[in-house]
Copies of this chain bind each other. A is one copy, B any other.
Amino acid sequence: MKITYDSVVVSTRIRLARNFVDFPFPNRFKDVSKAREMIHLIAAELSNADKFELYYMNAVSEERAAVLKERYLISQDLIENRRISAALVSKDESISVMINEEDHVREQYFLREFDLRKAYERISGIDDLIAESIPFAYDAELGYLTACPTNLGTGLRASVMLFLPALARRNLMREVIPELTRLGLTVRGAYGERSGAEGELFQLSNEVTLGMTEEDILSVVESAVQTMVEFELQERKAMCEEDGIGLRDRVCRAYGILTNCIKIDAREFMSRMADVKLGVALGVFHGDMRALDDLIIAMRPANINRLNGAVLDEAGRDVYRAEYAGKALRAMDLPNGEEDY
């Protein structure tokens, strides 16, 4: 049995919350032309750094907005603020700058591996550029000023998306969560505060942004992730020892269903894909975990509608999902040679 570190950490995200001097916070910001001006200044500055796609949220269709949201590039708040909001998204989708979400800017950097420092470095470069467009509101004592006091100080949120099938199935998350809370950290389902832990994905991030340096925050999150990864790997091992055949049966059945079904709903799909990912993690399958994560995102409702080129109803999406994902998984050729009797 092969267990890799990569089989637990799905992605790393660093987010900085910033506000400009001389502009009211977005919730009090009614002047559309001033908002446009802000957007132009930021976009112009960023165009020096990388290729960005600029989305004025009032010009983006509901469907397109849903696609961006499913891809973790924008938030519901940004969509709701559409009169004044915009998003700048880099071509490779690693950088997303939301303008006039809760704060004037929310700068995010995504990495599909576990490297908080690299992500922080990258987003700091973007942050420096944006600061050149308009000066940030900064207080020597409080640090960066934010619309919500919970983001005051560094304005930094370091998040790591974790795939924790063993902890979830063995009902161990409720033991872990109080420990993390004590460290000033929170755990949420993959799709934000209100979502359950679909696909056994959990987002670990710092709660506190004030009274700690950026370095402190990164260190605390980093070491919590390391502990979680070790705990998860240990519990995966225990699962294999307790009922290896049962586990192998479950992941192979999930693969069999995904590659043969004619329709599959979003919830079942997430659950079967979690099994297949666990199969890759345990060496039952050959495969690229990131390709499986991509497929999970591609099969969310708005992303399916986009792939299909027209909006489907739920039943239509279930059939599309079965066909598309089945084909994608067969092309990945996951079954392990040794197992192919």
Residues of A bordering B, CB below 8 Å = 245-246, 248-249, 252-253, 255-263, 319, 322-323, 326-327, 341
Contact = CB atoms under 8 A, between A and B. Distances in A.
Contacts of A341: 323, 326-327
Number of copies: 2
Is the contact region of chain A dominated by helix, strand, or loop, or is it mixed? helix
Nearest to A260: B256
Given A246-B263, A252-B261, A253-B256, 17 more contacts: A245-B262, A245-B263, A245-B319, A248-B262, A249-B322, A252-B260, A252-B262, A253-B257, A253-B260, A253-B261, A255-B260, A256-B256, A256-B258, A256-B259, A256-B261, A257-B257, A326-B341
A272 to B, nearest CB: 10
A67 B341 CA distance: 26
A229 to B, nearest CB: 27
Contacts of A249: 261-263, 322
21 contacts: A245-B263, A246-B263, A248-B262, A249-B261, A249-B262, A249-B263, A252-B260, A252-B261, A252-B262, A253-B256, A253-B257, A253-B260, A253-B262, A255-B260, A256-B256, A256-B257, A256-B259, A256-B261, A257-B257, A326-B341, A327-B341
Contacts of A259: 256, 260
Contacts of A255: 260
A336 B260 CA distance: 12
Contacts of A258: 256
A133 to B, nearest CB: 49
Contacts of A260: 252-253, 255-256, 259
A211 B257 CA distance: 55
A260 B341 CA distance: 11
A262 B250 CA distance: 8
